[in-house]
A and B are shown apart, each in its own frame.
Chain A
């Protein structure tokens, strides 16, 4: 299997690593610590990210409210999730942590709002 070059982001050192699969394990080169090894394997096998974006909100102080995935989601599903998130609209009042979408795109992860917004009569 072809190796993957990456920069480790566990600490500010930013080691340049090469990670590849061998029989029964992984070859990792360039990392200066063990945490880099874990990161490298995760990035090669199942890279995940917290996705943060906004959704439309009615009757709030603003017309958009920030949301995030409650846990990291697979990197490959980011754009698929964006499509679903952009199709919903919520209504104020709403509180930080309220669930907007349950189990987004079969990831098992919820989309929650990341701030509270009171109802505002304009």
Chain B
């Protein structure tokens, strides 16, 4: 059996940052396992710019952002295996993996970091009626075909879902000569960043149909068209509002799900809201010595936040290896109050926090001029005025260690309160 101090599953932005940070914190025997043909993950197909404003203070493209970390990983001589698939993990931290060079491997690890990222929701996940012709792609699949493999996926396109990938692909298809007829969005607001609505849709006069959805796909061998209908406040299509769009391609940008099949095999408990592992302040899951970071924990909108979170996972996995973790008793919990849909981390051991506790969260609706209030066991410790909050933009807040007067059974709640309430 092979042995590594830290084994990292996934060589995307999360895995890369975690590996480098673990190395910087004094762990030498590290292995990164990646199933694709190269490191970098989905960043390699995200050729647009806008990455790195927080971490590098400049605007990079996805591949540029990835390359900085890949280079650092190689300079540190951290070992990695490409084209390698992890089959399962066990609670005693034995990982089974396979590739065509080494064959089947059993690897025992001192600590494991899960960094598998997320997967797109497909047509099957949202049950669109109609025939099953070619020409229905998730936006990310189309992105990989166009940007990496050099295949154009269609000429006349409708996009369902206005998440960032959908918006970016609407622009990308237009630049490469396709006609994008419309972007339909089920919700009354877009889940994408304002910057993308302006620069991907408005710049190219692509209509954004809010409160609309695709109710039918038509075509036998190839998509011939889709039916789009207006939806009511319960997101149900309104009869009589159907409109037919002749097109050969439908792109789906209808959400991402953390990819946790192998986490489940290791007995890791998932949060039903995030679909990712429940973690503590050090990004450790319910299984001692198994950590998780990046989109496998919760879907981020900025890679910079993935990097930050993954550095924390790498550092804490190194601490665990060096037996520097304090307090393995019970923990304080975080709780999503009014207006908040989830908070990561879910569990807190105050003694292990360096200077600040970082909480990541999403709100459940669009809010303007509202207060974000943090309480510990009902006692207010922080209040922040927010001019604009939207579910598409993750909120990150820092709580100073001094303010964190929490006992082991404390509940740290974040909620939204109207101005003057």
Contacts and interface: CB of A to CB of B under 8 A. Distances in A.
B143 to A, nearest CB: 11
Given A12-B390, A14-B388, A114 B193 contact: no
B202 to A, nearest CB: 8
Interface in B161-175: 175
Contacts of B203: 49, 75
Given A53-B47, A114-B47, A116-B67, A68 B61 contact: yes
Interface stretch (B83-91, B146-154, B289-297, B399-407): B146-154
Interface in B121-165: 146-150
Contacts of B38: 61
B28 interface: no
Contacts of B37: 61
Nearest to A85: B175
Contacts, number: 76
B147 A13 contact: no
Nearest to A10: B195
B64 A96 contact: yes
Contacts of A30: none
A62 interface: yes
Contacts of A7: 194, 197-198, 202
Given A63-B149, A78-B175, A14 B64 contact: no
Contact of B393 (A12, A53, A96): A12
Given A12-B390, A78-B175, A115 B67 contact: yes
Interface string B231-262: 00000000000000000000000000000000
Interface string A1-24: 000001101001110000000000
A56 interface: yes
Contacts of B146: 54
A68 B197 contact: no
Given A7-B194, A12-B194, A50 B150 contact: no
B147 A66 contact: yes
A64 B147 contact: yes
B59 interface: yes
A68 B49 CA distance: 9
B418 interface: no
Contacts of A9: 194-195, 198-199
A53 B387 contact: no
B44 interface: yes
B177 to A, nearest CB: 8
B48 interface: yes
Contacts of A56: 150
Contact of A115 (B49, B64, B175): B64
A64 B63 CA distance: 13
B61 A66 contact: yes
A52 interface: yes
Interface in B194-215: 194-195, 197-199, 202-203
A82 interface: yes
A50 B195 CA distance: 13
A114 B147 contact: no
Given A7-B197, A14-B388, A64 B44 contact: no
Nearest 10 A/B pairs, CB to CB = A115-B63, A66-B47, A14-B194, A63-B150, A114-B61, A9-B195, A64-B150, A13-B388, A52-B48, A114-B64
9 contacts: A12-B390, A13-B387, A32-B387, A52-B61, A62-B150, A64-B147, A66-B62, A115-B44, A115-B66
Interface of A: 6-7, 9, 12-14, 32, 49-54, 56, 61-64, 66, 68, 75, 78-79, 82, 96, 114-116
